[in-house]
Chains A and B, each alone.
Chain A
Amino acid sequence: MNEVLLVAGMALVTFAARYPLLVLVGKLQLPQPVLRALKFVPIAVLTAIITPAIIFPRSNRPEFALSNEYLVAAIVAALVAWRSRNVLLTIVVGMLMLLAWRWIMALVHM
């Protein structure tokens, strides 16, 4: 079945991304350019995942406006994260800001 194949394939490549380097490092020297590129992988991938979720929250139409509560809350969360480096605080402030801004926008448009 398709789902079995899907889960098996995903499990295989995910384990392949996590496990082998735990064992090989120390026994095998990775080329310098590979190590340099790897440093940027989480930065680039995480950013590429979140920006579309912030700018295209509802449809395929970009929303660069104050009425986009995802954008407003993400900017506030980024400022909190930058200043505090505290992940939990960032999550809590970001989520509250999203709900608060959505509520404010609903009041404004009433």
Chain B
Amino acid sequence: MTLQHTFTRWTEFWAGVRDTFPLVVGAVPFGIIFGALAVTSGISPSGALAMSAFVFAGSAQFVAAGLFAGGAPVLVIVLTTLVVNLRHTLYATALAPHMKHLPQRWLIPLGFWLTDESFVVVSARHTRNDASPLKHWYFLGSAIFMYTNWQLCTLIGILVGRAIPNPAAWGLDFAAVVTFIGMLSQFVRNKPALVSAGVAGLCALLAHGLPNQLGLLVAAALGIAAGMLSEALFPGEQVKPVNPVQTTSAAQAKEAP
């Protein structure tokens, strides 16, 4: 119980940094390959850096670079970005009840910095029932670590992209896939979630030939519909709004008093 009285801004901040570490490890090759892919896709180095600085959304940036290389119109890329990032709306909805007390000077940057990774660790932090009123500092630590790492990795990737013409040959492109598999395992824990993932995955394969990554949009829409339908058919198998996730220290925290 003594722990509960020792939360300070800095202990929260550093706990957020520490708990985000495993996910940053997954984001390092992802960021490097984004930088490399962006310049080989014809985006200028400053454009790639600006994208990482102002958009800060790994998978959307990845998809955007692919679309850019294929000569897709700006409007199509922006719409695809919206759909790919729509999952952040869910994250915001889930975190909002914990952040009601925060002023705009906190909500605006934390909203901007909301990623899959920070959501995963921050929602795990909020499932710990200690009285710390400073959990937004934990979010800040997680977010700043992710953001700094993303900018550095983009820069490294741009430099690497000039030296290595085909980074996929090194298997770096697979880092994003395994990171997403790890994150999916936290969500896909019952029948409706499995049905949603199965239908989305299959449709993404069948629709792969469609231009401008339209297959992704179609597959996502059908996967969501299939999940909702299956939830209606199996009422006992409700998908929880937020699935708390085990990161290393979240697991440790369970042992803490």
Contacts and interface: CB of A to CB of B under 8 A. Distances in A.
Nearest to B64: A10
A49 B180 contact: yes
Contacts of B174: 53, 70, 73, 94-95, 98
A94 B114 contact: no
Interface stretch (B6-14, B21-29, B126-134, B154-162): B21-29
A99 interface: yes
Contact of A51 (B179, B188, B205): B205
A44 interface: yes
Interface residues on A, range: 35 or more
A91 B178 contact: yes
B235 to A, nearest CB: 12
Contacts of A99: 171
Interface in A21-60: 21-26, 30, 33, 35-56, 60
A99 B89 CA distance: 36
B77 to A, nearest CB: 6
B242 to A, nearest CB: 9
Given A43-B227, A47-B200, A86-B182, A21 B89 contact: yes
B69 interface: no
Interface string B198-235: 11111111001100000110011111100110010000
Given A74-B181, A77-B181, A17 B88 contact: yes
A26 B97 CA distance: 7
Given A26-B96, A37-B228, A81 B182 contact: yes
Contacts of A2: 74
A106 interface: no
Contacts of B104: 23
B75 to A, nearest CB: 8
A59 to B, nearest CB: 11
A5 B224 contact: no
A89 B244 CA distance: 18
B247 A46 contact: no
Contacts of A22: 92, 95-96, 99, 107, 110-111, 114
Given A6-B74, A10-B64, A30-B93, A94 B197 contact: no
B184 A26 contact: no
Contact of A95 (B86, B110, B175): B175
A46 B224 CA distance: 12
A25 to B, nearest CB: 3
Contact of A40 (B64, B173, B224): B224
11 contacts: A7-B50, A17-B87, A35-B241, A42-B183, A44-B219, A47-B219, A74-B177, A87-B185, A90-B185, A91-B25, A102-B171
